[in-house]
Amino acid sequence: MNNLDSLTPRQIVAELDKYIVGQQDAKRNVAIALRNRWRRMNVTSEIQEDIIPNNILMIGATGVGKTEIARRLARIADAPFVKVEASKFTEVGYVGRDVESMVRDLVEQSVNMVKARKKEEVKEKAAAAVEDIILDALIPAIKSPAPKTTGFIPGGVEGSDVPSSDHELNERTRNHFREKIKNGELEERKIEIDVKQGGGGGNVGMIGAGVMDEVSMMNIQEMINGMMPKKARKRKVTVAEARKILLEEEAARLIDMDEVKEEALKKAQDAGIIFIDEIDKIASGSGKGGGPDVSREGVQRDLLPIVEGSTVNTKHGVIKTDHILFIAAGAFHISKPSDLIPELQGRFPIRVELTALTKDDFVRILREPKNALTKQYTALLESEGVSLRFTDDAIDAIALAAFTINAEIENIGARRLQTVISKLLNEFLFDVPDKIEAGSSLEVSAAMVNEKLQGLMKNRDLSEYIL
Q: Which of 35-49, 82-96, 297-311 has the lowest mean pLDDT?
A: 82-96
**pLDDT average, residue stretch 261-272:** 92
Dist CA 320 CA 312 (whole Å): 6
pTM of the prediction?
Answer: 0.76
Q: Which residue has the higher pLDDT, 322 or 204?
A: 322
Q: In this predicted structure, what is the pLDDT of residue 197?
A: 64
- Residue 168, pLDDT above cutoff 80: no
Banded model confidence at residue 1, pLDDT cuts 50, 70, 90:
very low
CA dihedral 205, 207, 212, 216 (to 10 degrees): -90
- Residue 157, pLDDT above cutoff 60: no
Q: Which of 160-174, 208-222, 436-450 has the lowest mean pLDDT?
A: 208-222
- Residue 231, pLDDT above cutoff 60: yes
CA distances from 352 to 280, 324, 327, 408 (A): 14, 19, 11, 26
Instruction: Answer whether 375's CB lies under 8 Å from 395's CB.
Output: no
Q: Which residue has the higher pLDDT, 343 or 200?
A: 343
CA quadruple 21, 24, 26, 31: dihedral sign: positive
Q: In this predicted structure, what is the pLDDT of residue 390?
A: 93
- Residue 59, pLDDT above cutoff 80: yes
Burial class (CB in 10 A: 0-12, 13-18, 19+), 458: exposed
pLDDT tens digit sequence for 393-413: 999 999 998 898 888 888 888
Average pLDDT along the chain: 81
Instruction: Answer whether 8's CB lies under 8 Å from 76's CB.
Output: no
Contacts for 210-217 with beta carbons within 8 Å, 24 or more apart? 214/98, 214/101, 214/104, 215/104, 215/313, 215/314, 215/315
Comparing CA positions, the residue from 78, 107, 34 lying closest to residue 319 is 107
pLDDT tens digit sequence for 272-294: 999 999 899 888 765 454 445 55
Our measurement of the distance from residue 249's CA atom to the centroid of its chain's CA atoms, rounded to an integer in Å, reads 22
Q: Which residue has the higher pLDDT, 256 or 467?
A: 256
- Residue 392, pLDDT above cutoff 80: yes
**pLDDT average, residue stretch 427-436:** 90
pLDDT tens digit sequence for 453-467: 876 666 666 566 666
**pLDDT average, residue stretch 336-355:** 91
- Residue 261, pLDDT above cutoff 90: yes
Banded model confidence at residue 207, pLDDT cuts 50, 70, 90:
very low
Q: In this predicted structure, what is the pLDDT of residue 10?
A: 92
Domains in the chain, ordered, with CATH? 4-117+262-353 (3.40.50.300), 123-254 (no CATH), 359-458 (1.10.8.60)
**φ and ψ at 289, to 5 degrees?**
-155, 150
**pLDDT average, residue stretch 311-337:** 91
CA distances from 143 to 74, 103, 164, 170 (A): 54, 54, 14, 9
Q: In this predicted structure, what is the pLDDT of residue 324?
A: 93
Banded model confidence at residue 335, pLDDT cuts 50, 70, 90:
confident
What DSSP state is assigned to residue 139? S
Q: Which of 36-40, 159-163, 187-191 has the lowest mean pLDDT?
A: 159-163
Dist CA 329 CA 57 (whole Å): 6
Dist CA 210 CA 206 (whole Å): 6
- Residue 234, pLDDT above cutoff 90: no
Dist CA 203 CA 423 (whole Å): 46
Instruction: State which amino acid sits at residue 47.
Output: I
Q: In this predicted structure, what is the pLDDT of residue 94?
A: 54
